[in-house]
Chain A
């Protein structure tokens, strides 16, 4: 079976949740949802996942469907007061910009007082990044998205957390950045962006050309692992039979 780029992304995202144990996964967006549901079927059956609204789902329905056994209640108020600060959560957010230091922006483009484009607003990003494990998903890696410095810091990276003091670093845990080109963490010098792997068909130079900041490499950068046959069956037949993943991440 030929593995598509979006399927490499799906397993790379699933691997982000593999060692989380019995916590709530909060995947934002299509590929993160696919990846988290894949993890629940493979590496981490203890993962708690919602329908994106107030219901905790027992199983993992196909993308776009929510009909399933409900195992719990998770209204917004409980997310904000009883999950985020409680810490038993791993959120994977999007990022309109993410920088070398691991800061993320979903607020606006341009200066705060005079934005050129309003985005969603900071939403829960400031709270997420000082309370629970946080990863990021970028479907289109480009120099405008992966930048030297974000315009408005919504989710915070390690250096800013340390500057804000022990209360900000105590539970700070930015785990991974997964993009359509590769997987990264913030284990480079001074907690900067570092290669974890590149997806098959992508070179380190391809990634550097598509980035607006330097990305550290520890020696040779490995390839993102290939999905197992079992994972491909789960992705193609159970979790995303309509192939919505190919629309978000077309294979080049």
Chain B
């Protein structure tokens, strides 16, 4: 008997998320972010989300739209543009609660959640402002003869994980084709439910025809649902399917500088559904090359 398909629509995925949930978002900075799903959350009635992310425009947009009331992060960047403007604005305007960890602590917290242990020990954070600014963090003393006092990084347990992969099958097996898996498997395992958006849903047999076995980062036990969203990581990097859309990212970062410009940008690109967004992006590039 064939396993049932886990294929969903964008709206069905967002319908599984509830206000107040902790939502982990895969990728890194402005790379392989599940932006089609993020854009769908922007259009939804969801509020009060706790967003956990190696932050890029995903977090900037969710903060700007008032969807995130709490953010756990290690940095916020657009990579080719050092700072994420909407994130910076939210941080200075104090429009949400912020928890800033070392990026290794962040990975360790995801791993603790994935392994279902309450914490994992590490050195990172000792002596730094991270422990002062997050009063929930505790240290733990080694029970062995060394007696070292280490940071007890708490599990970053997620309600929902959202990640974007180059390809997947309908069962939830998914692969990345670029050079870096980031932490997407850990995000999925740290979550009660994990949703994969992908450039292309293909037959299972096709996954390993032209790509190495090791590119199959996610197996179906880790995945709740799959949705095909071509160009769905836009404008972040999704190599080798497509690189970061630097011209568009620059337009985004420039528009984010003033409320007036942002309103125009939002109206042009983010007021419709995903198809409308992709159509507006096509026009943007036609105008640029005209």
Given the interface pairs A77-B107, A127-B124, the reply to whether A115 lies near B91 with Cβ below 8 Å is yes
Question: What distance in Å separates the Cβ of A158 from its nearest Cβ neighbour in chain B?
Answer: 10
- The answer to whether A171 touches B123 (Cβ under 8 A) is yes
- The answer to whether A75 touches B179 (Cβ under 8 A) is yes
Q: In the bound complex, how far is the Cα of B124 from the Cα of A125, in angstroms?
A: 9
Is B77's CB within 8 Å of the partner chain A?
Answer: yes
Residues 151-170 of A, flagged 1 when their CB comes within 8 A of B and 0 if not, give: 01111100011011111101
- The answer to whether B127 touches A163 (Cβ under 8 A) is yes
Within 8 A of A (CB), among B84-139: 87-88, 91-92, 94, 100-105, 107, 122-130, 132-133
Is A58's CB within 8 Å of the partner chain B?
Answer: no
Given the interface pairs A54-B180, A80-B104, the reply to whether A123 lies near B128 with Cβ below 8 Å is no
- The answer to whether B87 touches A153 (Cβ under 8 A) is no
- The answer to whether A85 touches B181 (Cβ under 8 A) is no
- Counting chain A CB atoms within 10 Å of each CB, the highest count among B82, B92, B125, B127 belongs to B127
Question: What distance in Å separates the Cβ of B212 from its nearest Cβ neighbour in chain A?
Answer: 12
Name the contact of A115 in the complex, choosing from B73, B92, B102, B104 (C-beta under 8 A): B92
- The answer to whether B179 touches A54 (Cβ under 8 A) is yes
Is A251's CB within 8 Å of the partner chain B?
Answer: no
- The answer to whether A121 touches B76 (Cβ under 8 A) is yes
Given the interface pairs A112-B129, A153-B128, the reply to whether A121 lies near B100 with Cβ below 8 Å is yes
Contacts between chains A and B (CB distance < 8 A), count? 138
Given the interface pairs A125-B128, A165-B126, the reply to whether A118 lies near B103 with Cβ below 8 Å is no
Contact residue range for chain B?
A: 35 or more
Is A120's CB within 8 Å of the partner chain B?
Answer: yes
Name the contact of A130 in the complex, choosing from B55, B77, B88, B126 (C-beta under 8 A): B126
Is B150's CB within 8 Å of the partner chain A?
Answer: yes
Q: In the bound complex, how far is the Cα of B92 from the Cα of A114, in angstroms?
A: 6
- The answer to whether B125 touches A126 (Cβ under 8 A) is yes
- A166 surroundings in chain B (CB, below 8 A): 148-149
User: B residues within 8 Å of A by Cβ?
Assistant: 28, 55, 73-77, 82-83, 87-88, 91-92, 94, 100-105, 107, 122-130, 132-133, 148-150, 179-183
User: A residues within 8 Å of B by Cβ?
Assistant: 53-55, 73, 75-77, 80-81, 84-85, 107-108, 112-127, 129-131, 152-156, 160-161, 163-168, 170-171
